[in-house]
Amino acid sequence: MTWLSLRFARRELRSGLKGFWIFLACLALGVAAIAAAGSTAEAFRRGLASQAGEILGGDIALTVEQMRFSASERRSFAGLGQTSWAVSTRAMAQSLEGRRRLVELRGVSERYPLAGTVELRGASSLESALSQGPDGTFGAVIEQDLLNRLSLKLGDRFQVGSLPLIARAVLIQEPDRLSRGFALGPRVLVRDAAVEQGGFLTSGLPFSETTRILLPPGASLEAAKARLQKLLPLGQARVRDRNDAAPGIHRLIDQLEYFLGFIGLAALVAGGLGVYGAVSAYLDSKTASIAVLKALGADSDLIRNTYLLQIGALAGLGIVLGLALGAIAPLILGAAIGNSLPIPALFAIYPGPLIKAGAFGVLGAAAFSLGPLGTARATTPAALFRQTTQSGFHLSAETLLSGLAALGLAALAIAMAPTPIAAVVMMVGVIVAFGLLWGIGRLGAFVAGRLRAKTKGPLRLALANLAGPGSAARTAAPAIGLGVALLAAVVLIQSSLLRQVAEIAPQTAPALVFTDIPGDTAADFDQVVAVAFGRTLTPDIYLRAPFATGRILRVRGSQVDTNSIPRQQRWAYDQDISVSALGAEPANSGIVAGQWWPSNYAGPPLIAVEVEAAKGANIKVGDTLTVSLLGREIEAKVAVLRHVDFGGFNASFPLVVSANTLAGASLRQVAIAKASRGQEAAVTEALGRDFAGVNVISVREQLEAATDLFNRLALAIRGAAAVAALAGLLVLVGAIAARAQARTREAAILKALGASRGQILAAYVMEYGAVGIIAGAAGVGLGYAAAWPVVVLVFKAHWAVDWGGVFTLVLGAAVIAGFGGLAASMQALSKRPAAALRAD
């Protein structure tokens, strides 16, 4: 770069940004979307990190299932720092009028919470709300949903299981809620003594106990964890620390960031056509200047540097604009809805995501603007004497650099992704889609050229323009199509999944799940259900099986190293999972390897393992597994690998041991049933009389809640995907602007030849409407191709096309593009023909 290039570039830029608004807008939009996605995710990460102690409820949390910590363990924990205790279980809450609802019951010690505060309404403090009344009845803090469901008001009495409670306050928020995961029902907070008094902590019942330890200032977290590892038997307790307070949420944030960032990248790629078009148009307009400079003795390096500096400066401006927007948007979001977000967020300006977005912007600008620069550099000074426009592909240093920048863009996107393979698939998808759209645009132009001879009037003019050198079918259609494809993919995936949740799952999944059925009265339980249902229970509507939870400790005699197990299968090894004990092979057993044991099998323990879980540790038929079950370690030989449809109506246990393995143990049982709303209400009420301890989980309610959540998310995701479509629109505007002068001249000539305003207007609307239809239809087709494998292969859901959404997208693209044509024609027609032709 020489000072002369700088001087010439500065002189050129003095004429302002005319023709570069689209360039700036396209670049800024893509960069802003990526920066906003990254900044928002970072705000959530920092928020989670800043409140990690509150979220976990301390520095370390230890949880045991179906048992309590021993007195010596309690003393050891207390030696590490301050401790609080909590016991959790699920149970049925019941009003005095007999209304029943499954709740998440949690009993906490007096020192709870060690970090953060519990937000309440209706009581001055947690201590007063949970205190015992004069008659010894414990107070409870409950969620508003439970008040509504049981028609309670504060001060009313109700019971959970057989435990009487008084509703003293409404629970707004607990500081450690995020670390405790998904809830099947409203939360009820009481003292731990109350849970114990209610009989929920009996051995074998599905409860858990968690202790939270707040280390003294300066104490080593790692040292404390090491002491705990020595203290606790292998696999007995789940240990988490403040650095891993909410791992699921972190994964969710990573995925969300990548999804939104990907949309930003797609917007950058779609907008890249706008960048390319704007740079090409700008450099085309400079052909004479470049030729003059060359005639005056300027060499091609001086020309390249002069225009590279200009484009670089403008790209810098676009990127800075985008970064500013991307940095500010989350701040505005935080100010507007920060208080109602379910995840703590620290909205601020973070350099990391902005640097990343800036890198995407630089690579995007280079990928789409260096090509035209190479073409401009090759302009010969003879252009001053005759039209020698450089067109077509020219292999030059600039085109090579442009290709390298495009590769860099893809590599950066893949490197930043939480799952690189998925990122590669997405990038390849975008590149293939873009290539196809580009081809379809050219095909559209070609077909228009062939058809125009068979038409006349405004349609002929529209087709001629579509086929001509500045055809928007070639420039804007691929960009609009990419935006439409993204929107279409989102719409189709959402509609299929929504249908799966709202329509298909209720038909295939059980409507009700019953847990904690006492093993010794299971037959009586069946009878109560049959009476409430008003029919005989058959295997197609009712299944019951023994239930326990256990953990895989060793495979083939070796301790399980969860870090070496792929993340998709780790769930089966890093926590307690459900186990049943069956004799005869269940219906729809899904065996993929091995043979089920005879119903009267009496040999050494055998086990059936879910096939996906088995893949995690490469478990084969004949291997031995050591499973921690009911407080003892059981070594079982793998007899069966089977596929389990976890959402379906079958024995959905990842582990099933032969019935003799647990002979003598009175296992509690679970049951699933298909039921109408009426049957559901009847059985819930009936069980309150004879089986108050049995929990009734309404799958229907969960599905309805999921549908509601899905619908709310759908709007937000579609809004995000619309950013890419907006980039497409910007490219359309750019294409219209680039041809504005030619349009004005064309309209003037047509008017001089006798064409009416209506005819010219109709021609332009038809031309751009056709661009919209080409882009919309191609985009929907590609969106269909992208959505189908996601729905069918990834989510394994039924494919359902939202034809209304698809039609709206195509029509929307056509109408918006048609409006673009209208705007182009209005602008062209606004000038008097004489003035336009004289200027020419």
Partner 1 sequence: MFEFPLRLSKVCLTLPSTAGPVNILREVDLEIRPGERVAVTGPSGSGKSSLISVAAGLERPTSGQVELFGADLGSMDEDGRARLRRGRVSLVFQAFHLLPNMTAEENVAAPLEIARTPNAQVIAQSWLGKVGLGGRRTHYPHQLSGGEQQRVALARALAGRPSLLFADEPTGNLDSANASLVADLMFDMVADVGAALVLVTHDLNLAERADRIVLMRDGAIVS
* Residues forming the site for partner 1 (CB under 8 A): 4, 7-8, 11-15, 288-289, 291-302, 380-382, 384-386
Determine contact, residues 570/562, Cβ cutoff 8 Å. Answer: yes
CB atoms within 10 A of CB 663: 9
- Alpha-carbon gap, residue 261 to 257, rounded angstroms: 6
| Tokens found for residue 48 | 């989670």
| Alpha-helical runs (H) found in 204-246 | 221-231
Minimum distance from residue 272 beta carbon to partner 1 (Å): 27
- Alpha-carbon gap, residue 219 to 420, rounded angstroms: 38
Nearer to partner 1, 105 or 303 (CB): 303
| Tokens found for residue 205 | 């019942």
In the 8-state DSSP scheme, what is residue 198? T
The CA distances from residue 456 to 436, 451, 459, 577, in Å, are 30, 10, 6, 73
Nearer to partner 1, 295 or 837 (CB): 295
Minimum distance from residue 293 beta carbon to partner 1 (Å): 7
The DSSP-derived string for 493-559 is HHHHHHHIIIIIHHHHS-SEEEEEE-GGGHHHHHHHHHHHHTS---TTTEEEEE-EEEEEEEETTEE
Nearer to partner 1, 380 or 399 (CB): 380
Nearer to partner 1, 11 or 712 (CB): 11
Nearer to partner 1, 454 or 838 (CB): 838
Nearer to partner 1, 794 or 839 (CB): 839
Name the nearest CA neighbour of 182 among 116, 249, 119, 128.
249
Minimum distance from residue 31 beta carbon to partner 1 (Å): 27
Helices and strands: H and E segment counts in the chain = 25, 22
Minimum distance from residue 465 beta carbon to partner 1 (Å): 21
The CA distances from residue 461 to 560, 759, 819, in Å, are 72, 9, 17
For 16, phi then psi, to 5°, come to 95, -170
Name the nearest CA neighbour of 35 among 367, 346, 341, 260.
260
Determine contact, residues 821/770, Cβ cutoff 8 Å. Answer: no
Q: Which helix (DSSP H) or strand (DSSP E) does residue 252 occupy?
A: helix 247-285
415 burial via Cβ count (<10 Å: 0-12, 13-18, 19+): exposed
- Alpha-carbon gap, residue 528 to 511, rounded angstroms: 17
Residue type, 16: G
Nearer to partner 1, 14 or 632 (CB): 14
Minimum distance from residue 389 beta carbon to partner 1 (Å): 14
Nearer to partner 1, 299 or 520 (CB): 299
Residue 108 three-state SS: strand
Nearer to partner 1, 23 or 69 (CB): 23
CA 104 to chain centre: 27
Dihedral (Cα; 408, 411, 416, 421), 10-degree rounding:
160
Nearer to partner 1, 399 or 588 (CB): 399
Minimum distance from residue 4 beta carbon to partner 1 (Å): 6
CA 524 to chain centre: 45
- Alpha-carbon gap, residue 191 to 138, rounded angstroms: 8
Nearer to partner 1, 15 or 339 (CB): 15
Convert 228-252 to b/e letters by CB count within 10 Å (16 or more is b).
beeebeebbbbebbbeebbeebbee
Minimum distance from residue 381 beta carbon to partner 1 (Å): 4
Nearer to partner 1, 13 or 331 (CB): 13
